Amino acid sequence: MKFQFGKFGGQFVPEEVKKALDELEKAFQDAIKDPEFINEYLYYLKDYVGRPSSLYFAKNLSDICGGAKIFLKREDLNHTGAHKINNTIGQILLAKRMGKKKIIAETGAGQHGVATATAAAMFGMECEIFQGSLDIERQKLNVFKMEMLGAKVTGVNQGSKSLADAVDVAIDEWVKRIDDTFYLLGSVVGPHPYPTIVKYFQKIIGEETKQQFFEKENKLPDYLVACVGGGSNAMGFFNEFLEDQSVNLIGVEAAGKGLQTNQNAATLSLGRTGVIHGMRTKVLLDEHDRIKEVYSISAGLDYPGVGPEHAYLKETNRVNYFAISDREAVEAFQVLSKTEGIIPAIESAHAVAYAMKLAKKLPKDKSVIVNLSGRGDKDVESIEKYLKSQ
Ligand SMILES: *Cc1c(COP(=O)(O)O)cnc(C)c1O
Protein backbone atom coordinates (compact mmCIF):
# COMPACT_ATOMS: atom_id res chain seq x y z
CA MET A 1 0.00 0.00 0.00
CA LYS A 2 1.11 3.54 -0.72
CA PHE A 3 1.37 5.97 2.19
CA GLN A 4 1.18 9.69 1.53
CA PHE A 5 2.65 11.05 4.76
CA GLY A 6 5.65 8.99 5.90
CA LYS A 7 4.08 5.79 7.23
CA PHE A 8 0.69 7.47 7.67
CA GLY A 9 -2.30 7.68 5.33
CA GLY A 10 -3.15 4.87 2.91
CA GLN A 11 -6.45 3.28 1.94
CA PHE A 12 -7.73 0.69 4.43
CA VAL A 13 -11.01 0.06 2.61
CA PRO A 14 -12.78 -2.72 0.64
CA GLU A 15 -12.09 -3.10 -3.13
CA GLU A 16 -15.34 -1.38 -4.23
CA VAL A 17 -14.40 1.69 -2.22
CA LYS A 18 -10.89 1.71 -3.71
CA LYS A 19 -12.38 1.99 -7.17
CA ALA A 20 -14.48 4.95 -6.11
CA LEU A 21 -11.46 6.58 -4.46
CA ASP A 22 -9.44 6.15 -7.67
CA GLU A 23 -12.20 7.81 -9.66
CA LEU A 24 -12.30 10.62 -7.10
CA GLU A 25 -8.55 11.14 -7.19
CA LYS A 26 -8.48 11.31 -11.00
CA ALA A 27 -11.33 13.83 -11.04
CA PHE A 28 -9.63 15.92 -8.33
CA GLN A 29 -6.21 15.97 -10.05
CA ASP A 30 -7.89 16.88 -13.30
CA ALA A 31 -10.04 19.62 -11.72
CA ILE A 32 -7.21 21.45 -9.97
CA LYS A 33 -5.36 21.74 -13.28
CA ASP A 34 -8.38 23.41 -14.85
CA PRO A 35 -8.36 27.20 -14.42
CA GLU A 36 -12.12 27.31 -14.94
CA PHE A 37 -12.66 25.02 -11.95
CA ILE A 38 -10.31 27.05 -9.75
CA ASN A 39 -11.93 30.32 -10.82
CA GLU A 40 -15.37 29.02 -10.01
CA TYR A 41 -14.19 27.82 -6.56
CA LEU A 42 -12.58 31.21 -5.87
CA TYR A 43 -15.65 33.05 -7.13
CA TYR A 44 -17.90 31.29 -4.58
CA LEU A 45 -15.38 31.77 -1.80
CA LYS A 46 -15.40 35.49 -2.49
CA ASP A 47 -19.04 36.31 -3.29
CA TYR A 48 -20.81 33.60 -1.29
CA VAL A 49 -18.52 32.82 1.65
CA GLY A 50 -17.22 36.39 2.00
CA ARG A 51 -13.47 35.79 1.61
CA PRO A 52 -10.85 36.91 2.22
CA SER A 53 -11.52 36.65 5.95
CA SER A 54 -9.77 39.42 7.84
CA LEU A 55 -6.53 39.14 9.78
CA TYR A 56 -7.22 41.16 12.92
CA PHE A 57 -4.66 42.49 15.40
CA ALA A 58 -6.21 41.71 18.80
CA LYS A 59 -4.68 44.63 20.65
CA ASN A 60 -6.76 44.32 23.82
CA LEU A 61 -6.02 40.62 24.16
CA SER A 62 -2.33 41.25 23.46
CA ASP A 63 -2.24 44.00 26.08
CA ILE A 64 -3.72 41.89 28.85
CA CYS A 65 -1.26 39.10 28.08
CA GLY A 66 1.56 41.65 28.13
CA GLY A 67 3.89 39.91 25.66
CA ALA A 68 3.78 39.04 21.97
CA LYS A 69 1.32 40.59 19.54
CA ILE A 70 -1.70 38.31 18.99
CA PHE A 71 -3.50 38.30 15.65
CA LEU A 72 -6.71 36.45 14.77
CA LYS A 73 -7.45 34.93 11.37
CA ARG A 74 -11.21 35.45 11.31
CA GLU A 75 -12.67 32.25 9.82
CA ASP A 76 -15.59 32.90 12.17
CA LEU A 77 -16.72 35.63 9.76
CA ASN A 78 -17.34 33.19 6.89
CA HIS A 79 -20.90 32.41 5.81
CA THR A 80 -22.18 29.66 8.20
CA GLY A 81 -19.64 30.82 10.78
CA ALA A 82 -16.60 28.58 10.37
CA HIS A 83 -13.88 27.33 8.04
CA LYS A 84 -15.86 24.23 7.04
CA ILE A 85 -17.66 25.98 4.17
CA ASN A 86 -14.36 26.38 2.23
CA ASN A 87 -14.17 22.61 1.89
CA THR A 88 -17.85 21.91 1.23
CA ILE A 89 -17.93 24.43 -1.65
CA GLY A 90 -14.80 22.86 -3.17
CA GLN A 91 -16.04 19.29 -2.90
CA ILE A 92 -19.55 20.10 -4.18
CA LEU A 93 -17.99 21.68 -7.28
CA LEU A 94 -15.96 18.51 -7.70
CA ALA A 95 -19.13 16.40 -7.32
CA LYS A 96 -20.87 18.51 -9.96
CA ARG A 97 -17.91 18.11 -12.32
CA MET A 98 -18.07 14.32 -11.83
CA GLY A 99 -21.75 14.36 -12.77
CA LYS A 100 -22.95 13.24 -9.32
CA LYS A 101 -26.46 14.27 -8.32
CA LYS A 102 -26.54 13.33 -4.65
CA ILE A 103 -24.38 14.26 -1.70
CA ILE A 104 -23.92 12.28 1.50
CA ALA A 105 -21.87 13.34 4.51
CA GLU A 106 -21.23 12.46 8.14
CA THR A 107 -21.51 14.96 10.93
CA GLY A 108 -20.76 15.05 14.65
CA ALA A 109 -22.03 18.21 16.25
CA GLY A 110 -23.68 19.17 12.99
CA GLN A 111 -21.27 21.89 11.83
CA HIS A 112 -20.06 19.94 8.80
CA GLY A 113 -23.63 18.79 8.17
CA VAL A 114 -24.86 22.40 8.06
CA ALA A 115 -21.97 23.52 5.81
CA THR A 116 -22.69 20.58 3.48
CA ALA A 117 -26.45 21.17 3.45
CA THR A 118 -25.78 24.86 2.71
CA ALA A 119 -23.61 24.15 -0.32
CA ALA A 120 -25.99 21.41 -1.50
CA ALA A 121 -28.93 23.83 -1.29
CA MET A 122 -27.10 26.43 -3.33
CA PHE A 123 -26.06 23.94 -6.03
CA GLY A 124 -29.43 22.17 -6.09
CA MET A 125 -28.15 18.76 -5.02
CA GLU A 126 -30.01 16.15 -3.02
CA CYS A 127 -28.34 15.85 0.39
CA GLU A 128 -28.40 13.25 3.17
CA ILE A 129 -26.47 13.67 6.41
CA PHE A 130 -25.62 10.80 8.76
CA GLN A 131 -25.46 11.75 12.40
CA GLY A 132 -25.23 9.66 15.57
CA SER A 133 -28.59 9.52 17.34
CA LEU A 134 -26.97 10.76 20.55
CA ASP A 135 -25.60 13.77 18.67
CA ILE A 136 -29.03 14.40 17.12
CA GLU A 137 -30.39 14.70 20.65
CA ARG A 138 -27.55 16.98 21.80
CA GLN A 139 -27.44 19.23 18.73
CA LYS A 140 -31.07 19.94 17.92
CA LEU A 141 -30.47 23.43 16.51
CA ASN A 142 -28.09 22.14 13.83
CA VAL A 143 -30.54 19.34 12.98
CA PHE A 144 -33.27 21.95 12.40
CA LYS A 145 -30.86 24.01 10.30
CA MET A 146 -29.92 21.05 8.08
CA GLU A 147 -33.61 20.25 7.58
CA MET A 148 -34.42 23.90 6.89
CA LEU A 149 -31.73 23.81 4.20
CA GLY A 150 -33.48 20.86 2.59
CA ALA A 151 -31.23 18.02 3.76
CA LYS A 152 -32.39 14.70 5.15
CA VAL A 153 -30.83 13.86 8.52
CA THR A 154 -30.51 10.13 9.18
CA GLY A 155 -29.82 8.90 12.71
CA VAL A 156 -27.07 6.33 13.32
CA ASN A 157 -27.91 3.94 16.15
CA GLN A 158 -24.79 1.77 16.26
CA GLY A 159 -21.77 1.88 18.57
CA SER A 160 -21.42 5.03 20.62
CA LYS A 161 -24.09 6.72 18.43
CA SER A 162 -21.80 9.63 17.63
CA LEU A 163 -19.31 10.89 15.03
CA ALA A 164 -17.07 7.83 14.61
CA ASP A 165 -20.14 5.65 13.91
CA ALA A 166 -21.63 8.22 11.53
CA VAL A 167 -18.43 8.01 9.42
CA ASP A 168 -18.65 4.19 9.29
CA VAL A 169 -22.27 4.29 8.14
CA ALA A 170 -21.64 7.06 5.59
CA ILE A 171 -18.83 4.99 4.00
CA ASP A 172 -21.09 1.89 3.90
CA GLU A 173 -23.87 3.90 2.28
CA TRP A 174 -21.46 5.36 -0.25
CA VAL A 175 -20.50 1.84 -1.43
CA LYS A 176 -24.17 1.09 -2.13
CA ARG A 177 -24.80 4.30 -4.08
CA ILE A 178 -21.45 4.97 -5.70
CA ASP A 179 -22.87 5.52 -9.21
CA ASP A 180 -24.74 8.73 -8.51
CA THR A 181 -23.52 9.77 -5.05
CA PHE A 182 -20.59 11.84 -3.81
CA TYR A 183 -19.30 11.38 -0.26
CA LEU A 184 -18.35 14.80 1.08
CA LEU A 185 -15.91 14.25 3.96
CA GLY A 186 -15.55 17.00 6.54
CA SER A 187 -11.92 16.99 7.65
CA VAL A 188 -8.40 15.96 6.57
CA VAL A 189 -9.15 12.37 7.56
CA GLY A 190 -10.27 9.12 5.90
CA PRO A 191 -8.64 7.12 3.10
CA HIS A 192 -6.48 8.78 0.44
CA PRO A 193 -7.23 11.09 -1.38
CA TYR A 194 -9.58 12.75 1.15
CA PRO A 195 -6.88 14.23 3.43
CA THR A 196 -5.22 15.76 0.35
CA ILE A 197 -8.49 17.05 -1.13
CA VAL A 198 -9.69 18.66 2.10
CA LYS A 199 -6.30 20.30 2.71
CA TYR A 200 -6.35 21.66 -0.83
CA PHE A 201 -9.71 23.35 -0.26
CA GLN A 202 -8.63 24.75 3.13
CA LYS A 203 -5.16 25.99 2.19
CA ILE A 204 -6.64 29.35 1.22
CA ILE A 205 -6.60 30.18 4.97
CA GLY A 206 -2.80 30.12 5.18
CA GLU A 207 -2.31 31.71 1.76
CA GLU A 208 -4.38 34.72 2.77
CA THR A 209 -2.74 34.86 6.20
CA LYS A 210 0.77 35.02 4.77
CA GLN A 211 -0.12 37.85 2.42
CA GLN A 212 -2.15 39.78 5.00
CA PHE A 213 0.59 39.51 7.61
CA PHE A 214 3.18 40.73 5.11
CA GLU A 215 0.99 43.74 4.34
CA LYS A 216 0.71 44.59 8.04
CA GLU A 217 4.17 43.70 9.39
CA ASN A 218 6.36 43.13 6.32
CA LYS A 219 7.75 39.84 7.66
CA LEU A 220 6.80 36.27 8.50
CA PRO A 221 4.93 35.59 11.76
CA ASP A 222 6.77 33.78 14.59
CA TYR A 223 3.99 31.42 15.70
CA LEU A 224 0.81 29.98 14.21
CA VAL A 225 -1.67 28.32 16.57
CA ALA A 226 -4.74 26.29 15.55
CA CYS A 227 -7.04 23.77 17.21
CA VAL A 228 -7.00 20.18 15.95
CA GLY A 229 -10.00 17.86 15.83
CA GLY A 230 -9.60 16.00 12.55
CA GLY A 231 -7.19 18.77 11.69
CA SER A 232 -8.58 20.58 8.63
CA ASN A 233 -8.50 24.18 9.86
CA ALA A 234 -4.97 23.64 11.18
CA MET A 235 -3.74 21.97 7.96
CA GLY A 236 -5.28 24.73 5.84
CA PHE A 237 -3.63 27.34 8.06
CA PHE A 238 -0.19 25.67 8.31
CA ASN A 239 0.27 24.44 4.74
CA GLU A 240 1.58 27.69 3.26
CA PHE A 241 4.18 27.95 6.05
CA LEU A 242 5.51 24.37 6.17
CA GLU A 243 8.70 25.31 4.31
CA ASP A 244 9.29 28.46 6.38
CA GLN A 245 11.40 26.96 9.16
CA SER A 246 11.39 30.19 11.22
CA VAL A 247 7.63 29.93 11.66
CA ASN A 248 6.70 27.80 14.68
CA LEU A 249 3.55 25.76 14.07
CA ILE A 250 1.42 24.65 17.01
CA GLY A 251 -1.62 22.37 17.01
CA VAL A 252 -3.90 22.35 20.05
CA GLU A 253 -5.94 19.28 20.99
CA ALA A 254 -8.67 18.84 23.56
CA ALA A 255 -7.43 17.69 26.98
CA GLY A 256 -11.08 17.52 28.13
CA LYS A 257 -11.07 16.86 31.88
CA GLY A 258 -7.32 16.21 31.82
CA LEU A 259 -4.70 14.00 30.14
CA GLN A 260 -4.55 11.79 33.25
CA THR A 261 -8.29 11.07 33.07
CA ASN A 262 -9.98 8.90 30.46
CA GLN A 263 -12.03 11.89 29.38
CA ASN A 264 -10.09 13.69 26.68
CA ALA A 265 -9.57 13.72 22.92
CA ALA A 266 -5.80 14.28 22.84
CA THR A 267 -5.01 11.86 20.02
CA LEU A 268 -1.51 13.14 19.18
CA SER A 269 -0.49 13.50 22.83
CA LEU A 270 -1.73 10.06 23.95
CA GLY A 271 -2.57 8.01 20.85
CA ARG A 272 -0.80 5.06 19.23
CA THR A 273 -0.39 4.17 15.57
CA GLY A 274 -3.49 2.38 14.33
CA VAL A 275 -6.16 2.28 11.66
CA ILE A 276 -9.42 4.21 11.77
CA HIS A 277 -11.84 5.27 9.03
CA GLY A 278 -9.69 3.90 6.24
CA MET A 279 -6.39 5.57 7.20
CA ARG A 280 -3.30 4.71 9.25
CA THR A 281 -2.72 7.47 11.77
CA LYS A 282 -2.55 8.10 15.51
CA VAL A 283 -5.59 6.72 17.29
CA LEU A 284 -6.77 6.74 20.90
CA LEU A 285 -6.87 3.01 21.72
CA ASP A 286 -7.62 1.13 24.93
CA GLU A 287 -5.49 -1.75 26.30
CA HIS A 288 -7.27 -4.17 23.93
CA ASP A 289 -6.51 -1.95 20.91
CA ARG A 290 -10.14 -0.94 20.62
CA ILE A 291 -10.96 2.65 19.69
CA LYS A 292 -11.61 4.60 22.87
CA GLU A 293 -14.63 6.72 23.66
CA VAL A 294 -13.38 10.27 23.61
CA TYR A 295 -14.59 13.36 25.39
CA SER A 296 -14.28 17.13 25.10
CA ILE A 297 -16.56 20.04 25.96
CA SER A 298 -16.07 20.88 22.30
CA ALA A 299 -17.98 18.58 19.96
CA GLY A 300 -15.77 19.57 17.01
CA LEU A 301 -12.58 18.31 18.70
CA ASP A 302 -14.18 15.12 19.99
CA TYR A 303 -12.63 12.59 17.57
CA PRO A 304 -10.54 9.49 18.43
CA GLY A 305 -8.32 9.81 15.33
CA VAL A 306 -6.56 12.68 13.58
CA GLY A 307 -5.56 13.54 10.02
CA PRO A 308 -2.57 11.38 8.91
CA GLU A 309 -0.53 14.41 7.86
CA HIS A 310 -0.66 15.69 11.44
CA ALA A 311 0.68 12.32 12.67
CA TYR A 312 3.54 12.78 10.20
CA LEU A 313 4.18 16.43 11.10
CA LYS A 314 4.38 15.45 14.75
CA GLU A 315 6.75 12.57 14.07
CA THR A 316 9.04 14.81 12.00
CA ASN A 317 8.82 17.56 14.65
CA ARG A 318 7.71 20.18 12.14
CA VAL A 319 4.60 20.89 14.20
CA ASN A 320 4.33 20.76 18.00
CA TYR A 321 1.10 19.63 19.58
CA PHE A 322 -0.23 20.55 23.02
CA ALA A 323 -3.51 19.93 24.82
CA ILE A 324 -5.84 22.42 26.49
CA SER A 325 -8.48 21.41 29.04
CA ASP A 326 -12.19 22.26 29.07
CA ARG A 327 -11.55 24.68 31.92
CA GLU A 328 -8.78 26.58 30.12
CA ALA A 329 -10.83 26.73 26.90
CA VAL A 330 -13.89 28.10 28.67
CA GLU A 331 -11.74 30.72 30.36
CA ALA A 332 -10.28 31.81 27.01
CA PHE A 333 -13.81 31.84 25.57
CA GLN A 334 -14.81 34.36 28.24
CA VAL A 335 -11.65 36.45 27.97
CA LEU A 336 -11.87 36.85 24.19
CA SER A 337 -15.58 37.69 24.42
CA LYS A 338 -15.01 40.35 27.06
CA THR A 339 -11.78 41.92 25.80
CA GLU A 340 -12.38 41.89 22.04
CA GLY A 341 -16.14 41.51 21.65
CA ILE A 342 -15.57 38.30 19.71
CA ILE A 343 -17.35 35.15 20.89
CA PRO A 344 -15.22 32.26 19.56
CA ALA A 345 -16.30 28.69 18.87
CA ILE A 346 -15.31 26.57 21.87
CA GLU A 347 -13.05 24.62 19.48
CA SER A 348 -11.20 27.81 18.53
CA ALA A 349 -11.08 28.85 22.20
CA HIS A 350 -8.64 25.95 22.75
CA ALA A 351 -6.22 27.66 20.35
CA VAL A 352 -6.84 31.06 21.95
CA ALA A 353 -6.08 29.59 25.40
CA TYR A 354 -2.73 28.21 24.24
CA ALA A 355 -1.86 31.43 22.38
CA MET A 356 -2.49 33.48 25.53
CA LYS A 357 -0.14 31.29 27.57
CA LEU A 358 2.46 31.50 24.83
CA ALA A 359 2.19 35.27 24.25
CA LYS A 360 2.74 35.95 27.97
CA LYS A 361 6.17 34.29 27.78
CA LEU A 362 7.30 36.07 24.60
CA PRO A 363 8.80 39.55 24.07
CA LYS A 364 6.67 42.29 22.50
CA ASP A 365 8.34 42.12 19.09
CA LYS A 366 7.16 38.53 18.53
CA SER A 367 3.89 37.65 16.84
CA VAL A 368 1.36 34.87 17.33
CA ILE A 369 -1.48 34.25 14.87
CA VAL A 370 -4.45 32.20 16.00
CA ASN A 371 -6.75 30.63 13.48
CA LEU A 372 -10.17 31.54 14.86
CA SER A 373 -11.85 28.59 13.15
CA GLY A 374 -15.43 29.52 14.01
CA ARG A 375 -17.86 31.68 15.93
CA GLY A 376 -19.33 30.70 19.26
CA ASP A 377 -23.05 31.43 19.00
CA LYS A 378 -23.63 27.67 18.93
CA ASP A 379 -21.78 27.27 22.25
CA VAL A 380 -23.22 30.07 24.39
CA GLU A 381 -25.86 27.85 25.98
CA SER A 382 -23.52 24.99 26.87
CA ILE A 383 -20.87 27.36 28.26
CA GLU A 384 -23.56 28.94 30.44
CA LYS A 385 -24.46 25.46 31.72
CA TYR A 386 -20.80 24.58 32.30
CA LEU A 387 -20.21 27.74 34.32
CA LYS A 388 -23.31 27.13 36.46
CA SER A 389 -22.16 23.58 37.22
CA GLN A 390 -18.74 24.72 38.51
C1 LIG B 1 -15.38 21.22 13.08
C2 LIG B 1 -14.66 22.32 13.71
C3 LIG B 1 -13.32 22.19 14.15
C4 LIG B 1 -12.57 20.90 14.11
O5 LIG B 1 -12.33 20.40 12.83
P6 LIG B 1 -10.89 20.45 12.16
O7 LIG B 1 -11.03 19.54 11.01
O8 LIG B 1 -9.90 19.97 13.18
O9 LIG B 1 -10.65 21.84 11.77
C10 LIG B 1 -12.70 23.30 14.69
N11 LIG B 1 -13.34 24.50 14.80
C12 LIG B 1 -14.61 24.65 14.39
C13 LIG B 1 -15.26 25.98 14.55
C14 LIG B 1 -15.31 23.58 13.84
O15 LIG B 1 -16.58 23.76 13.44
The closest of 193, 183, 202, 134 to 163, measured between CA atoms, is 134
Do 189 and 304 reside in the same domain of the chain?
A: no
Contact 372, 73 (CB under 8 A): yes
Out of 62, 73, 106, 347, the active site residue is 106
- How remote is the CA of residue 15 from the centroid of ligand 1, in Å? 30
Atom of ligand 1 at shortest range from CA of 236 = 9
**Atom 2 in ligand 1: residue holding the nearest Cα:** 300
pLDDT of residue 138: 82
Residue 3 lies in a domain: no
Out of 100, 199, 373, 378, the active site residue is 373
Residue 8 lies in a domain: no
pLDDT of residue 386: 95
Task: Check if 187 has its Cβ closer than 6 Å to any atom of ligand 1.
Answer: yes
Summarised one tens digit per residue, pLDDT across range 245-257 is 999 999 999 999 9
Summarised one tens digit per residue, pLDDT across range 121-142 is 999 999 999 999 989 988 899 9
Residue 4 lies in a domain: no
Summarised one tens digit per residue, pLDDT across range 6-29 is 999 999 999 999 999 999 999 999
Mean pLDDT of 31-35: 98
Domain end among 198, 217, 237: 198
Do 222 and 238 reside in the same domain of the chain?
A: yes
Percent of the chain with pLDDT over 90: 96
Do 133 and 178 reside in the same domain of the chain?
A: yes
pLDDT of residue 162: 87
**Cα separation of 71 and 337, whole Å?**
15
381 confidence band (pLDDT: 50, 70, 90): very high
CATH number of 257's domain: 3.40.50.1100
Do 109 and 140 reside in the same domain of the chain?
A: yes
Do 157 and 207 reside in the same domain of the chain?
A: no
Summarised one tens digit per residue, pLDDT across range 72-119 is 999 999 999 999 999 999 999 999 999 999 999 999 989 999 999 999
Do 159 and 184 reside in the same domain of the chain?
A: yes
Mean pLDDT of 217-225: 99
Do 293 and 215 reside in the same domain of the chain?
A: yes
Do 162 and 297 reside in the same domain of the chain?
A: no
- How remote is the CA of residue 112 from the centroid of ligand 1, in Å? 9
Residue 9 lies in a domain: no
pLDDT of residue 157: 96
Summarised one tens digit per residue, pLDDT across range 48-71 is 999 999 999 999 999 999 999 999
Residue 123 lies in a domain: yes
Whether pLDDT at 160 is above 90: no
Give the count of domains, the chain: 2
- How remote is the CA of residue 376 from the centroid of ligand 1, in Å? 12
Atom of ligand 1 at shortest range from CA of 112 = 1
pLDDT of residue 341: 98
Do 355 and 290 reside in the same domain of the chain?
A: yes
pLDDT of residue 271: 98
Contact 68, 370 (CB under 8 A): no
Residue ranges making up the domain that contains 167: 15-45+84-198
Summarised one tens digit per residue, pLDDT across range 278-329 is 999 999 999 999 999 999 999 899 999 999 999 999 999 999 999 999 999 9
**Cα separation of 385 and 28, whole Å?**
44
Whether pLDDT at 367 is above 90: yes
Do 211 and 185 reside in the same domain of the chain?
A: no
Domain end among 169, 198, 227: 198
Residue 33 lies in a domain: yes
Residue 384 lies in a domain: yes
Whether pLDDT at 383 is above 90: yes
